[in-house]
Amino acid sequence: MIDNKSFIHSLFVVLTLITSSAFAKQTEQNIQLHQPIIPAFSAKYSVLRKSDPVGFAIRALSYQNDGTINYHYKTKVKWLIFSQTRAETSIVTIENNQVIPQHYTYSKKGTGKDKYYEWQYNAKENTAQDLGRKHKHVALDFSHNLQDKLSYHLQHRLKLIEDATKKTYSYPVVTTSGTLKDYTYQYDGEEELILPYGLVKAIRFKREVKDKERITYAWFAPQLDYLLVKLYQTKSGAEQFEAQLSSLTY
């Protein structure tokens, strides 16, 4: 027969175990809720023209103290008399798997005319402001998940992580002139790639801009959470460039 003291002790032990288990489960759920879908990373690519290395590209994502995400892309290419550096940065937030752009900058320096664009977005008020050139305000409808010219890359990656079985993915993009344009990826097959990074299996997509006679092929690797691992672009049937993943750090 168990006395009151033993019973109370046993009950205390059981309650402690239950509470500890519940706390551990809740902690695990909280960690999962706050775990970023895409971890911070920096990916470097070798840029080729007709199989010859002509430069490099960097794509990186970092989480800021204010809760925003810095998504950045840079290329530096030098080929014969051609020399050019391009950089794009999107400051975004992510809610319910949707990328919400806040600020976008683009710069191009080197061969040809230098260019600079800067836009500020306010999704709650459905407005955008050109800070770089004309300083104009534009009314936009952000309820359709509008993207800037870089953030749609991140949105596409999130969509692939969510569901990579679709044949077409389309994103409304705010251009540097303030107009809207649909950027569409079409499924184009699967392929094993031998890259400077190593051997990877990838899903290939095609994006065609008919008015400019430009076709871009993009490969995304499921094993790397659908990171872009290769890019190949042609214009009027002639190769423009190719980019291959060479290194990846988290």
- Cβ count near 147 (within 10 Å): 26
- 31 and 43 share one domain: no
Span 65-72, average pLDDT: 97
pLDDT, tens digit, 9 for 90 and up, residues 147-170: 999 999 999 999 999 999 999 999
- pTM for this one? 0.84
How many folded domains does the chain comprise? Answer: 2
Its domain, for residue 22, covers 1-35
Q: What does R_g of the chain's alpha carbons equal in angstroms?
A: 24
- 22 and 55 share one domain: no
At 22 the pLDDT is 43
Kindly tell me if the per-residue pLDDT of 197 is higher than 60: yes
80-215-230-77 Cα dihedral, nearest 10 degrees: 20
- 124 and 6 share one domain: no
- 6 and 102 share one domain: no
Are the C-beta atoms of residues 47 and 55 closer than 8 Å to each other?
A: yes
Q: How far apart are CA 214 and CA 26, in angstroms?
A: 51
- 114 and 19 share one domain: no
**Would you place residue 3 in the very low, low, confident or very high pLDDT band (cuts 50, 70, 90)?**
low
